[in-house]
Amino acid sequence: MFSDYVNTITQGDCLKLFQDVPDNSIDITFADPPFNLKKKYNSTNDSLLLIEYLKWCECWLSEMVRVTKPSGSIFVHNIPKWLTHFTGILNKIAHFRHWISWDAPTSPMGKTLQPAHYGILFYAKDLKQNKFYEIRYPHKRCRKCNYLHKDYGGKKSGLHPFGPLVSDVWTDIHRIKHNKYRDEHPCQLPLHLLERVILMSTDKGDVVLDPFSGTGTTALAAKRLGRQYIGFELDPEYVRISKEKIETELPNSQINGIWVSYFLEQIVTLRDIDWIRLSNYFFIPRQTEEIDHIPIVELSKNYKAPLIRKPFNRFSEHLFENVESENIFDN
C-alpha cells in the first residue's frame, strides 16, 4: 500500500517500488542518482555501459514525472555531463524551469577545465499550476568585521534587511568535507541544500520523494521542515543509517512557526513571504544608516533549534533595545 511508504525509508529497487506509487500523488521528487563514475557504493554497480546507464535513467526519470502532482516539481542533481542527457528526456515529459548551478569545486581532473559546480535540474509538471516560493539568503559579509563583501554603489538604502533573492547560482552552500560530519556514503549532500529546495517548492505537510535516498538527507530535511517524506534505497546499510538519523529528529527548523533553514547557528534560507511575518517580531530602525550590526537572536524555546550566536542579518546593534528577548518568540 502507498501509505506504508510515507514517512519511512524503504529498502529496494526504486523502479519496483515506484509501481506502488499512484499517478499525481507526490508534491516534489528529488533524485541524486549514481553518477556512473565507478564510485564505491555498497550495493550499486556504478560502472554501466553508456547505453545501459541512460536507458535506466530514462526509466526512473519517467517514473518521477508520473508520480509528481500537476502543481509539483522535479529536481535532479548530478554532474553536467549527465544532466545534458537528462534534459533530453525530461523536455519531452515535463517543463524546464531552471538549471541551478551549485558551486562545489572538485579535485583536479587534468587536461580539462577544472570542474567547479554540480547542477540541479528544476522541472515543473505543469507550469501554470507549479508551486514556487521566492527565497532569500543572507547578505555576504566579512567573517571578522561583518561588512558587506559586495559594493552596492551607493544603493545600500534599497537593500533588503535580510538578504537578496536566491538566483540560479548557489555559491553560499558548501560540500561536506570534514569526516566528522559525513556518513559512510561517497556522495552525501549538505542538509541545508535540500532544505532550500524544499522551502521553495513545498508547504507544511507536503510529500517529498527521493528514489535514491542514500543515508537519508532528503528525508531528514523534509522532516525538519514539517513535510512528509518517502525514501527508496537499494542498500540495507544506508537504510539503517537513515532510520537512525531520522528517528531522533524533530520538525524543529522554525522560528515561532515560521520554517527556515539554518546552518552553523545562522539562518541560511527563508521564504520571502515569511520574512514579513518574521520581521514583525523585531524592531527595525527607520534610518537605513543605523543598520550596521546584528545582535544575538534567541530562537523559540519551544523548538529544538539552537541559538543563533553569529550575525545573520544587517540589523542595528540596538535592535532589541526596548524588547525582552524571552518574549520575542512567545506563541
Least reliable range by pLDDT among 1-10, 146-155, 248-257, 286-295: 286-295
pLDDT digits (tens, 9 = 90+) for 266-304: 889 999 999 877 776 544 433 333 333 333 233 333 323
158: confidence class by pLDDT, cuts 50, 70, 90: confident
Identify the CATH number of the domain in which residue 120 sits: 3.40.50.150
Is 323 among the domain residues?
Answer: no
Q: Which of 84, 77, 35, 279 is nearest to 170 (CA)?
A: 77
Least reliable range by pLDDT among 180-194, 231-245, 260-274: 180-194
**Could you tell me the residue range of the domain that residue 51 belongs to?**
2-137+172-247
Buried b vs exposed e over 214-248: b needs ≥16 C-beta within 10 Å? Answer: bbbbbbbbbbbbbbbbbbbbbbeebbebbeebbee
Least reliable range by pLDDT among 87-101, 152-166, 255-269, 289-303: 289-303
In this predicted structure, the answer to whether residue 156 has a pLDDT above a threshold of 80 is: no
Distance from C-alpha of 170 to C-alpha of 279, rounded to nearest angstrom: 25
pLDDT for position 137: 92
65: confidence class by pLDDT, cuts 50, 70, 90: very high
Catalogue the E-assigned strands of the chain.
8-11, 26-31, 68-78, 95-103, 117-124, 135-136, 169-170, 207-210, 228-233, 254-255, 258-263, 266-271
Is 289 among the domain residues?
Answer: no
Which strands form 258-263's sheet, in the order they lie side by side? 135-136, 266-271, 258-263, 254-255
Contact by Cβ (8 Å): 95, 166: no
The whole-model pTM stands at 0.82
Number of structural domains found in the chain? 1
In this predicted structure, the answer to whether residue 67 has a pLDDT above a threshold of 80 is: yes
Is 122 among the domain residues?
Answer: yes
Nearest-10 crossing angle of helices 217-224, 236-247: 20
In this predicted structure, the answer to whether residue 166 has a pLDDT above a threshold of 80 is: yes
Q: Average pLDDT of the chain?
A: 80
Give the contacts of 39 (CB within 8 A, at least 6 positions apart).
46, 186, 187
Among residues of the chain, what percentage have pLDDT more than 70? 75
Is 315 among the domain residues?
Answer: no
Which of 33-37, 80-84, 255-259, 298-302 shows the highest mean pLDDT? 80-84
- Residue appearing with cell numbers 509539483: 72
**What is the distance in angstroms between the CA of the first residue and the CA of the last residue of the chain?**
38
Distance from C-alpha of 166 to C-alpha of 232, rounded to nearest angstrom: 29
Is 253 among the domain residues?
Answer: no
pLDDT for position 273: 93
42: confidence class by pLDDT, cuts 50, 70, 90: low
- The stretch 164-178 carries a mean pLDDT of 84
Contact by Cβ (8 Å): 56, 11: no
pLDDT for position 309: 32
Distance from C-alpha of 242 to C-alpha of 238, rounded to nearest angstrom: 6
Is 306 among the domain residues?
Answer: no
Is 33 among the domain residues?
Answer: yes
pLDDT digits (tens, 9 = 90+) for 213-234: 999 999 999 999 999 999 999 9
pLDDT for position 272: 94
